[in-house]
Structure 1
Amino acid sequence: MADDKDQPFLDDIDALEAEIEAEEVADEDGLLTPEDMQAEIDALKDRLIRALAEGENIRKRAERDRRDAEMYGGTKLARDLLSVHDNLSRALETIDDSLREQAGGLVEGLELTQRELLSVFERHRVVMVAPEIGDRFDAKLHQAMFEAPVPNTQKGSIIQVMAPGFTIGDRLLRAAHVGVSSNTAPAAEPKKTDAET
């Protein structure tokens, strides 16, 4: 009597014997019966349909991968260039009127460089996410750097924008860095003047 551990081996032998018996269905001339031929045709049709479906799935997957590579292939480079944009923005923010008079060409060159960088971003579907003060905080596009209770603001509204965010296609490259109001009191209504009453 066979052990339980030998059972898978015996099952394999039984399956092999069943295949051999199926092949011996042929008559003395080596021809299959019409029923066996029809079963073989049906099995081949099924395999052909499955192979065609698999080929179509592979084609669709390759097309989707190609589109994704075209759209998102430059994601790493674009993410690395965001610091260049930030540094140019910081440099331009520090320029005052006296520096603009002294080094007008340099300032203009910095502004043109930043515009060209944004133009290149736009050509490659990299779009700036620039929230406004008072906009509602959106966790999908914004990153709260701090919360502060600010009078006359609603809880969850943006009170400061420290850095814009960027998307590429429908994916977020970097969230906009913002400060958010944690004010729990409702916004105060403006007082009416004597003329309005």
Structure 2
Amino acid sequence: MAQPKEDPFLDDPEMQEEDFDLDAAMEEEPESGALSGRAAMEAVAAERDELRDRLMRALAETENVRKRAVRDRTEAEQYGASRLARDLLPVYDNLRRALDAAGDANDGVIEGVKLTLKELLNVFGRHGIKLVSPEIGDRFDPQMHEAMFEAPLPGTRAGEIIQVAAEGFLLHDRLLRPAQVGVSSTPAS
């Protein structure tokens, strides 16, 4: 095992705290090539300030890395399944189309499709997936809707939704898929 290095200042009787006179040391003439006592103290103080600055910067950087890691972990937990969620959206669309095509028929198959769609929406809800279902007459919102077409429709104002082609979905607060809508282009009278 290596022996710890001894501090030469601890053994030097001139450097003992009770015997050391700082003012006298600063007034002494420096030996040839050595710094004066005051210059040495200023150099030590400058080095101390530099080290303190480096330490504070390292601490700040460490805190930033910690915060970034927490944010990345939270984001991964919330949005990590977005690819799977996007892949499940056509399943919802197909179930919805099947129900729309069946109309008011009331047989066992239709009831099964309704229950399957309801369970799919429950699973979506448990995982933070919310349905974006605009109504006819709502204002077009480019953040939530995708305009599939524009058409002039009497009795509407420009920018109103006139048809909903497909519902959209949010994953927590991120848009998975915008609602696909038709928008009125009726000019203002």
The one-character-per-residue Cα deviations of 1:118-149 (angstroms, maximum 9, x if unpaired) are: 11111111111111001111111111111111
Q: How do residues 82-161 of structure 1 correspond to structure 2 at under 5 angstroms?
A: 82-98=89-105, 100=106, 104-161=107-164
Q: Which amino acid aligns with 2:187?
A: T
Structure 2 length-normalised TM:
0.76
Structure 1 length-normalised TM:
0.73
Moved over 2 A (4+): none
The one-character-per-residue Cα deviations of 1:144-180 (angstroms, maximum 9, x if unpaired) are: 1111111111111111111111111221111111111
Alpha-carbon distance change, 96 to 133 in structure 1, aligned in 2, over 3 angstroms = closer
Match of 1:58 among 29, 44, 65: 65
CA separation in 2, counterparts of 1:97 and 1:37? 88
Aligned residue pairs total 154
CA separation in 2, counterparts of 1:80 and 1:27? 75
SS of residue in 2 equivalent to 1:153: coil
Q: How do residues 18-37 of structure 1 correspond to structure 2 at under 5 angstroms?
A: 27=34, 33-37=40-44
1:177 aligns with 2:180: yes
Alpha-carbon distance change, 165 to 97 in structure 1, aligned in 2, over 3 angstroms = closer
CA separation in 2, counterparts of 1:140 and 1:96? 32
CA separation in 1, counterparts of 2:53 and 2:137? 62
- Overall identity of the aligned pairs, in %: 58
Q: Which runs of 5+ in 2 are unaligned?
A: 1-32
Q: Which runs of 5+ in 1 are unaligned?
A: 1-25, 187-197
CA separation in 2, counterparts of 1:116 and 1:33? 78
- The higher radius of gyration belongs to 2
Q: Over aligned residue pairs, what C-alpha RMSD do you find?
A: 1.8
